[in-house]
Amino acid sequence: MTDYELRRTINAIEKAPAGGFFQSLVPAFRKADPINKDILLEAFKRMQGSEKYLPGGSHYEEITPEFGPSHLDLLQEHNMQFFGLNK
């Protein structure tokens, strides 16, 4: 998952009429170092209902359609692809 997709996922969780549990994960995602963020994201993907907030999910698409990548995000993605560093 790219940084842009993760930020959009976090915003979808924060803005959606989600239960308090998913919303309580937002500060953890924002404060986590890269290693713990990956661990948290993998656990989140396995949670029931999380597919709505992940890329392609209903909340991801409906709640954050205006959330587009910045020029810096696009440049980072291009550079990651160019150097073969995509996950």
Q: Give the pLDDT band of residue 1 (cuts 50, 70, 90).
A: confident
* 37 domain residue, yes or no: yes
Q: Per mean pLDDT, which range of 1-10, 25-34, 45-54 is the poorest?
A: 1-10
* 77 domain residue, yes or no: yes
Q: Tell me: the pLDDT tens digits for 17-41?
A: 767 899 999 999 999 999 999 999 9
* 76 domain residue, yes or no: yes
* 62 domain residue, yes or no: yes
* 87 domain residue, yes or no: no
* 27 domain residue, yes or no: yes
User: What are the distances in angstroms from CA 57 to CA 15, 18, 50, 54, 76?
Assistant: 14, 14, 9, 5, 24
* 22 domain residue, yes or no: yes
Q: Tell me: the pLDDT tens digits for 61-76?
A: 887 766 666 677 778 8
Q: How far apart are the first and last CA of the chain?
A: 7
* 34 domain residue, yes or no: yes
Helix (H) or strand (E) holding 61: helix 58-63
Count: domains in the chain: 1
The residue segments making up the domain with residue 10 are 3-82
Q: Tell me: the pLDDT tens digits for 74-86?
A: 788 888 888 887 6
